[in-house]
Amino acid sequence: MKPINLNKARKAKTRAEEKAKADANAVRFGRSKAERLLDAAREKQASDRLSQLKFDDE
């Protein structure tokens, strides 16, 4: 039987639990980078379109 380092085992278990929690949060709250970029592009396009439609009153 080979001895194990309890500190390494404890840290590995903690890392696995934190990773599982982070993955769950990413599913619940996160959006992918592509989704964020798409929303930003759509918002910029809408803003540009609105500014084109403004009248310049002097």
Residue 30 lies in a domain: yes
pTM for the full model?
A: 0.50
Residue 23 lies in a domain: yes
Burial annotation 2-22 (CB, 10 A radius, 16+ → b, else e): eeeeeeeeeeeeeeeeeeeee
Residue 58 lies in a domain: no
Tally of domains in the chain: 1
Residue 1 lies in a domain: no
pLDDT digits (tens, 9 = 90+) for 4-20: 999 999 999 999 999 99
Residue 36 lies in a domain: yes
pLDDT value for 41: 97
Residue 42 lies in a domain: yes
37 has a pLDDT exceeding 90: yes
Q: Which domain holds residue 39?
A: 6-53
- Which whole-number Å values give the CA distances from 2 to 5, 10, 13, in the listed order? 10, 17, 19
Residue 15 lies in a domain: yes
Residue 14 lies in a domain: yes
